């Protein structure tokens, strides 16, 4: 009986630390995940509040900027407003990009340290504790942590892939920024806010992992395409029929293009494209010609080609 009683007491004493140890480990891990080792990311804390800065930019991040731009009146006023919106959005994108990169660095360092440490502590602790049930609990926790780490294989991703992608993102962002800044050097009638918003979207996308992955894939598989010059053209027009009779002129040209079919007749399409080039009307294509500010030229085409 005495022996049993002693055994019971011993058992009670040894199970208590087994119940409290995991809690202390949880606290230790939580301190890692809560940023207790911020310096391990290699990125110092920013001296200003990014969220507060984004709030000050909010008026230029709304969907109604186009309406304000369109109502600005003169080209000069539109140019000033365009520049304000674009610079505000550039800054907003930079702030979110910086936050994203910082989070990546923290995630990589904290997660690697915390996971590896927890594996060592948990497996090490299990070997020091006698009751089999406690050992199996700790071993199970340890196995779970290792399992998660192994299944995602994040170390490989962060060590090998992420630096390449970040370099790619930086290069793409610089290219897009150059495009935007070049655009801002001319008045709004030559680089409209619409065009700038398209380029800003590109600038934002350049700082994303999927976009960088696509770029890396494209580059790695396209060494032979170096000689192929990619030309990206942006053309922006305002819809312009003017009067109802002008809409009729466009309709006449469409009917002529269809030539009784459901798709544009290739020969007539070629004829129209040749005419547009010969007359130096536009290189933006037939749709722009049919719907853009080319009222006089549309009438001239109908007259010249004797389109009924």
Partner 1 sequence: MTKVVTISNVPAKNKAQVEQDFRNEGAKHVNSTMEPDGEFTIIAIFENAQLADPKPDPKPGPKPSKN
Q: Which residues contribute to the site for partner 1 (CB under 8 A)?
A: 63-64, 66-67, 70, 190, 194-195, 198, 230-239, 241, 254, 257, 263-264, 277, 279-288, 290-294, 296-297, 299-300, 303
**Shortest Å, Cβ 114 to partner 1:** 44
Q: In the structure encoding, which two tokens stand for residue 294, read together? A: 């080319």
Task: Kindly tell me which of 153 and 278 has the beta carbon lying closer to partner 1.
Answer: 278
**Shortest Å, Cβ 71 to partner 1:** 10
Task: Kindly tell me which of 72 and 101 has the beta carbon lying closer to partner 1.
Answer: 72
Residue whose structure tokens are 């731009």: 69
Distances (CA, A) of 213 to 91, 101, 124, 165, 300: 24, 16, 40, 7, 49
Task: Kindly tell me which of 135 and 269 has the beta carbon lying closer to partner 1.
Answer: 269
Distances (CA, A) of 144 to 32, 34, 58, 108, 140: 18, 21, 44, 19, 6
Task: Kindly tell me which of 158 and 241 has the beta carbon lying closer to partner 1.
Answer: 241
**Shortest Å, Cβ 268 to partner 1:** 12
Would you say 88 and 57 are in contact if contact means Cβ atoms under 8 Å apart? yes
Question: Rounded to the nearest 5 degrees, what angle is found at the Cα of 169, between the Cα atoms of 91 and 233?
Answer: 80
**Shortest Å, Cβ 62 to partner 1:** 10
**Shortest Å, Cβ 197 to partner 1:** 10
Helix (H) or strand (E) holding 51: helix 50-57
Rounded distance, CA 293 to CA 14, Å?
A: 87
Task: Kindly tell me which of 32 and 69 has the beta carbon lying closer to partner 1.
Answer: 69
């Amino acid at each position: 009986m005495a022996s049993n009683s002693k055994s019971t007491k011993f058992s009670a004493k040894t199970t208590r630390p087994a119940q409290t140890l995991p809690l202390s480990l949880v606290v230790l891990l939580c301190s890692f995940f809560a940023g207790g080792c911020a310096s391990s990311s290699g990125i110092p804390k920013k001296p200003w509040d990014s969220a507060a800065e984004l709030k000050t930019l909010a008026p230029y991040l709304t969907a109604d900027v186009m309406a304000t731009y369109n109502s600005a009146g003169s080209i000069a006023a539109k140019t000033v407003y365009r520049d304000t919106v674009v610079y505000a959005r550039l800054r907003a994108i930079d702030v979110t990009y910086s936050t994203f990169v910082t989070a990546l660095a923290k995630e990589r360092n904290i997660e690697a340290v915390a996971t590896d440490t927890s594996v060592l502590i948990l497996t090490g602790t299990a070997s020091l504790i006698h009751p089999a049930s406690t050992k199996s609990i700790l071993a199970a926790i340890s196995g779970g942590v290792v399992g998660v780490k192994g299944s995602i294989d994040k170390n490989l991703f962060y060590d090998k892939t992420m630096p390449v992608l970040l370099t790619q993102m930086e290069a793409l962002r610089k290219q897009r920024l150059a495009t935007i800044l070049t655009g801002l050097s001319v008045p709004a009638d030559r680089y409209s806010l619409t065009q700038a918003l398209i380029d800003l979207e590109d600038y934002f996308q350049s700082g994303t992992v999927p976009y960088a992955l696509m770029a890396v894939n494209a580059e790695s598989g396209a060494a032979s395409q170096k000689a192929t010059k990619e030309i990206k053209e942006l053309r922006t027009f305002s819809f312009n029929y003017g009067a109802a009779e002008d809409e009729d002129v466009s309709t006449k040209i469409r009917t002529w293009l269809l030539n009784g079919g459901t798709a544009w007749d290739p020969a007539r399409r070629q004829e129209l494209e040749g005419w547009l080039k010969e007359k130096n009307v536009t290189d933006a294509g037939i749709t722009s010609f049919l719907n853009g500010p080319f009222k006089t030229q549309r009438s001239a085409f109908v007259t010249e080609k004797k389109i009924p």
